[in-house]
Amino acid sequence: MAELLLPHAAESSERLAVADEFGSTNWKSFNQRVNQLIHALRRQGLKAGDTFSVLSGNRREYVEAFAAAAHGGWLLVPINWHLVPSEICYILENSESKALLIDSRFYELGVRAISLKNAPSISPVVVIGKHETNYSTQLKNIVAYEEFLAVENNEEPEEQNLGGPMFYTSGTTGHPKGVKSALSQTGTPVGTLKMIGDGLSGMLSIQPGGKTLLVGPIYHSAQWAFSFLPMLAGSSIIMRHKFDESETLRLIDEHEITNIHLVPTQFTRMLRLDEKEKAGFQGRSLNVVWHGAAPCPPQIKKQMIEWWGPVICEYYGSTEGSIVTTVSSEEWLARPGTLGKPTPITEIVVVKEDGTKAEAGESGQLYVRNLMGSDFEYHNDPKKTAQAHKEPGLFTFGDIGYLDEDGYLFMSDRKIDMIISGGVNIYPAEIEGVLVNHESVLDAAVFGIPNEEYGEEVKAAIQLVEGFSADEGLATELKAYCRERLAGFKVPKSIDFETELPRHPTGKLLKRILRDKYWKEQERKI
């Protein structure tokens, strides 16, 4: 049996391991299917240290793939299914993926990506779920997932060693970057991941053997960490492909969910439900509710604490640095706006503009150090890795903030231009790079403006080439142009036409001037 699953498969064989809209899998069956997937991928030539990708929504097979990678010594690249074919193609090529698992719901998208002229050779291509297409007429080496598993035995694989995910974050200069963190290592003993999972579950007050509700996309590092890692400690996962506020309340009570990860947008949607529906929610099983990924408006958080009680906890972190700080409801109510204190294994160093260390209460760029010695690198990009580090082991996400006298972190601003919309990181440079290739655009600036539900939304400011008229028709055309080349969540929601974009004499674009008029009435300036 797969080493990390053995205790649960042996002691709780009939207990639920994972469930989705299509059915459920107990621990015994889950372990057997993971073993079959390991054997199948090995038979296709994947060796320890190789990479394969998954283009899928939330479903049980995704968790099987994560578990197989963890025991087969492979890197698994989760691909955002909102991306367009060219973006997917780039990730497949950059990650050097040898195989691809495609959810049948995104079959056409996946086929378009691997059929592009510059697409890498991928084999096998495995389709998860029912699909009417005759695969043999589409591509070579394409097979249905269940057929892929069926020819293999479910015996314990030999030579198990650790593998893990490599998440791609949006790139500040156009292309996404593959993040290799402590969780992406390969070739070390499998038990290392159990130690990480047990440590994380303990730190986050996630009970071993509990039930996790997953209603955010597991291709995000946070959703993976808050579901798959607790699973290694025996927690079951109940998942849905998409978030529905009413269904989420029902699932928590029906399945007696003990822990869940949410983002502020989801809080907002649940709070907007009618009072009768909200009053019917019990939530007695909830032990902890974690939120992060985006700033949460204080009034929204206060309402959630009043409704659900002091189970609401917040964290600050990133794909590169994992979880940096945590804060309980009680701590946050005593210090509204704080992101909490650093975890026991984390140090935060605040550096002022002159390069010196800031004192308590002084703002500066936030640098993070993992006291266990963990670090990260961007896949095949030592230059970007170096840019994120002040020194080996000391790195930044680009945020500005301060520590108070008691060591609690408060955020002030983001040094980088990143937009966080609904918990999703969006980097303006990628969008600007598309816009300036349109024949009408001389210069472009993309930035975030307030959005009541999503926190921020994408705004573009455009300086036109002489001869083009600034009107709604052109704005619509530019949005469509972006939509053909970028994932939908990156497309500007609105466009301003400017006579000239503000730039420093050195040529640096002064986005703050463009942004300030939208943020001047807001409590937060990010």
> What pLDDT does 462 receive?
93
Residue 505: the pLDDT is 55
Q: How far is CA 468 from the centre of its chain?
A: 39
Ranges 1-10, 11-20, 64-73, 98-107: which has the least confidence:
1-10
Provide the pLDDT for residue 427.
77
CATH code for the domain defined by 243-414? 3.40.50.12780
Could you tell me if 127 and 154 are in contact, meaning their C-beta atoms sit under 8 angstroms apart? no
pLDDT band, very low/low/confident/very high, at 237 (cuts 50, 70, 90): very high
Residue 10: the pLDDT is: 85
Measured CA to CA, the distance from residue 121 to residue 98 in angstroms comes to: 8
CA distance 312 to 266: 13
pLDDT class of 521 with cuts at 50, 70, 90:
low
Q: Which residues contact 131 (CB under 8 A, 6 or more apart)?
A: 104, 107, 144
Read off the pLDDT band of 1 (50, 70, 90). very low
Residue 139 has pLDDT above 70, yes or no: no
Task: Tell me what the mean pLDDT of segment 57-68 comes to.
Answer: 97
Going by C-beta distance under 8 Å and a sequence separation of 6 or more, which residues neighbour residue 244? 215
Look at residue 504 in the predicted model and tell me its pLDDT.
58
Tell me what the pLDDT averaged over the chain comes to. 89
Q: Give the per-residue pLDDT at 434.
A: 83
**Cβ atoms 231, 237 nearer than 8 A:** yes
Domain ranges of the chain: 6-160, 243-414, 419-519
- pLDDT above 60 (res 525): no
Better pLDDT: 135 or 263: 263
- Alpha-carbon distance of 387 to 407, in angstroms, equals 27
| Residue pLDDT, tens place only, 255-306 | 999 999 998 889 988 998 999 999 999 999 999 999 987 778 777 899 999 9
- Name which of 234-248, 300-314, 372-386 the model is least confident about: 372-386
The domain defined by 6-160 carries CATH number 3.40.50.980: yes
pTM attached to this predicted model: 0.83
Q: Residue 398 pLDDT > 50, yes or no?
A: yes
Residue 423 has pLDDT above 90, yes or no: no
Residue 497 reports pLDDT greater than 80: yes
**Fold agreement (243-414, 419-519):** no
The predicted pLDDT at position 413 comes to 63
Burial of 12 (C-beta count, 10 Å sphere; 0-12/13-18/19+): middle
User: What percentage of the chain carries pLDDT values higher than 90?
Assistant: 63
Cβ count within 10 A of residue 483: 15
* CATH class name, domain 419-519: alpha beta
CA distance 123 to 98: 6
pLDDT tier, 66 (very low <50, low <70, confident <90, very high otherwise): very high
Lateral strand order in the sheet of 341-342: 23-26, 16-20, 236-239, 211-214, 259-262, 288-291, 312-318, 322-327, 341-342
**What is the per-residue pLDDT for 428?**
83
CA distance 483 to 16: 41
**Lowest-confidence pick of 69-83, 279-293, 363-377:** 363-377
**pLDDT category, 495, cuts 50, 70, 90?**
very high
9 vs 290, residue with greater confidence: 290
Contact 212, 259 (CB under 8 A): yes
Residue 479 has pLDDT above 80, yes or no: yes
Segment 215-225 mean pLDDT: 93
Whether the CB-CB separation of 18 and 214 falls below 8 Å is answered with no
CA dihedral 40, 45, 49, 52 (to 10 degrees): -60
Give the best-scoring range by mean pLDDT among 162-166, 204-208, 369-373, 429-433: 162-166
pLDDT digits (tens, 9 = 90+) for 144-166: 999 999 999 999 999 999 999 99
* Mean local confidence (pLDDT), 440-468: 90
